[in-house]
Structure 1
């Protein structure tokens, strides 16, 4: 399931960044991928919708968020945790 979650996140991010999914690495930052703050918010909404989860994201105070958006690996790990919590 983890690979499926990561693949779907890659697809969502790739669509937003107008890239191919295989260009999205876990070390890629949103900035590396050319995703601005609005694009990141749109990506987060798409991820929430895809996995039926609510991401605790505060654009005004990112340092206070429990959802680390510093790179794709941390985003994927956080989504996996939320999906697992929902399933429990």
Structure 2
């Protein structure tokens, strides 16, 4: 699976969960800026895990203490791409 298709699928999943147009999701945007609350983010992460058959080390109760960077869409995409690549 190419890196671009992984990227596009991640963005599509997040957009669907957040009810946004994928074009609205930029790498610099934070979940909060996109109107994605913590529950929406958890739902997106579950959907991404299912889509790629990976396990994301995300602690919904303490996202700051997780190894999974959720500070921006770009960070989330990069972290998922890394997990997908390691799985491959």
Counterparts of 1:1-88 in structure 2, within 5 Å, are 1-87=2-88
Unaligned runs of 5+ in 1: none
- What TM-score do you get using the length of structure 2 for normalisation? 0.94
- For residues 63 and 30 of structure 1, what CA distance do their matches in structure 2 show? 14
- For residues 14 and 29 of structure 2, what CA distance do their matches in structure 1 show? 11
Unaligned runs of 5+ in 2: none
- What TM-score do you get using the length of structure 1 for normalisation? 0.94
Runs of 4+ in 1 over 2 A off after TM superposition: none
Taking only aligned residues, the RMSD between alpha carbons, in angstroms, comes to 0.8
- For residues 62 and 24 of structure 1, what CA distance do their matches in structure 2 show? 21
Q: May I ask how many residue pairs the two structures share in their alignment?
A: 87
C-alpha displacement at 1:60, in angstroms? Answer: 2.0
